[in-house]
Amino acid sequence: MVKCAECGYLGVRHPHTYELVTPDERQRETGIPTGIFTVGDKTTILGDMPICAVGACDLRKECEQTRKVASELGKVPCEVTHKDRECSQFTDLIPGLTPKEHIEMNLLQEQRIWQQTNQAANDRRQQSDSARNFRVNFLLVLVSIAAAIASWWVALHPGIVVVQSTPAATAPAIPFRAHAAPSGRL
pTM: 0.55
What pLDDT, in 10s, does the model give residues 26-60?
Answer: 777 877 666 654 445 555 555 567 889 998 988 87
Map out the domains of the chain as residue ranges: 4-97
CA distance 105 to 143: 56
Is the separation of the CB atoms in 11 and 21 below 8 Å?
Answer: yes
What pLDDT, in 10s, does the model give residues 127-186?
Answer: 888 888 888 899 999 999 999 998 888 888 776 666 565 665 555 555 555 555 555 554
Provide CB contacts within 8 A for 118, sequence distance 6+: none
What is the pLDDT, as a whole number, of residue 38?
47
Please report, as a single letter, which amino acid is at residue 141: V
Flag whether pLDDT at 66 surpasses 70.
yes
Left (φ > 0), alpha (ψ -120 to 50) or beta: where does 133 sit? alpha
Mean pLDDT of 112-134: 89
- For β-strands 10-13 and 51-52, DSSP reports them as antiparallel
DSSP for 58-74, written as a single string: -HHHHHHHHHTT--STT
Range among 18-22, 46-50, 118-122, 169-173 rated most confident = 118-122
